[in-house]
Amino acid sequence: MKVSAIITLKKDVLDPQGKVIQQALDGMGFENISEVRQGKYFEIDVNENDPSKAKAVVEDMCKKLLANLVIENFKIIETQ
């Protein structure tokens, strides 16, 4: 089954890339934005039919490789 992981910077970590995107959007006329933060997204197809086991595997991947837990948070989502 497919499981998705969303990795975002922690709230207190500066996100210069998001800031630049916000400025670009602002320059294009989207002036009603107070913040843009960029993150990473992974869609992982695990050979495992039990949703909770598949999620546990992806959580383990995030902890060991995908996310830097010092500055990032991660969220696991089941994908249809």
Residue 47 binding a copy of itself, by CB under 8 A? yes
Task: CB nearer to a copy of itself: give 11 or 70.
Answer: 11
Nearest to 37 by CA among 66, 62, 67, 17: 17
By C-alpha distance, which of 10, 18, 5, 7 is closest to 70? 10
Q: Which of 59, 66, 72, 73 binds a copy of itself (CB under 8 A)?
A: 66
Alpha-carbon distance of 25 to 36, in angstroms, equals: 10
Residues that bind a copy of itself (CB under 8 A): 6-8, 18, 21, 24-25, 28, 30, 32-48, 57, 60-61, 64-66
